[in-house]
Amino acid sequence: MRTPWTTGAPVGTLVLSAVRTLAGLPFAAEGSADSRRAAWAAVGVHLDELSSLVLCLGLPGDACTPLGRVLASCRDAGQPAVLTLRQLRCHDEPLRAVRVRMCENPVVVAAAADELGARCQPLVCVGGQPSAAVWRLLELLSVGRTRFDYHGDFDWGGIRIARTVRQRVDWQPWRYDHLAYEAARLVAHPLTPLVGETSATPWDPELASAMGRRNVRIEEELTIDLLLQDLSC
């Protein structure tokens, strides 16, 4: 029996279209099962506890819990950890780290692992629209009284992701204000224009103004050298 939410039904098609719009994904009249799954995953909805993942590097662990041993082993080896929602939901204790920096894109984690390895300060990648695993990891860190700093793409999609994270986690900008934007713009090449609707930047109102005035998109990858300097401190 087909319910209104079934794929192909009018309501189901409408809801999936709204999900794709929210995630900033291109329109697809129907799409494959994989594309539908990816659309839901982009807004943090997953069909099981193993599909939802979060990427991190340098988080301190412990010798007493399964998750703690995974984190400790990866940190000692200087390798990123890919954690599942299942692992995180099976862990009830707070995760303790004085300061954790957050990035938007996995390329930052890869570069940090290559350049810094075990010397990298704690780093969590939200991977675009945060998954359920990302939210659970940030929750465990928040309970442990972690301080968060955030960096992302200087484009309107990146700003909206940053605002989504900020609604649930209190963070300070990590080279993610108007001064950092202006500095990055001077060395960015090639220059590409911003697309999409503008979005406010409540942590630094001047950032949205500068982006609107300059109309230059700056991907997180272009600031990696500076980010790595901070992560090695």
Predicted confidence (pLDDT) per residue in 151-167, tens digit: 999 999 999 999 999 99
pTM: 0.81
Q: Which two tokens stand for residue 126?
A: 């939200």
Is the link from the previous residue into 190 a cis peptide, with omega within 30 of 0?
yes
Structural domains of the chain, with CATH: 52-231 (3.40.1360.10)
| Angle, vertex CA 218, rays to CA 213 and CA 222, nearest 5 | 145
Task: Tell me the sheet residues that pair with 150.
Answer: 102, 173
* Residue-averaged pLDDT of the chain: 89
C-beta of residue 216 within 8 angstroms of C-beta of residue 193:
yes
The whole-number pLDDT of residue 36 equals: 62
The whole-number pLDDT of residue 4 equals: 41
Report the 3 state secondary structure along 159-227: HHHHHHHHHHCCEEECCCCHHHHHHHHHHCCCCECCCCCCCCCCCCHHHHHHHHHHCCEECHHHHHHHH
Average pLDDT for 92-101: 96
The DSSP letter of residue 78 is T
Helix (H) / strand (E) element for 83: namely strand 81-84
Distance (Å, whole) CA 186 – CA 189: 9
Separation in Å, CA 78 to CA 47, 53, 95, 112, 149: 31, 19, 19, 9, 21
Among residues 176, 233, 173, the alpha carbon closest in space to that of 210 is found at 176
| Angle, vertex CA 11, rays to CA 6 and CA 127, nearest 5 | 75
Average pLDDT for 83-110: 97
CA atoms within 13 A on the CB side of 137: 35
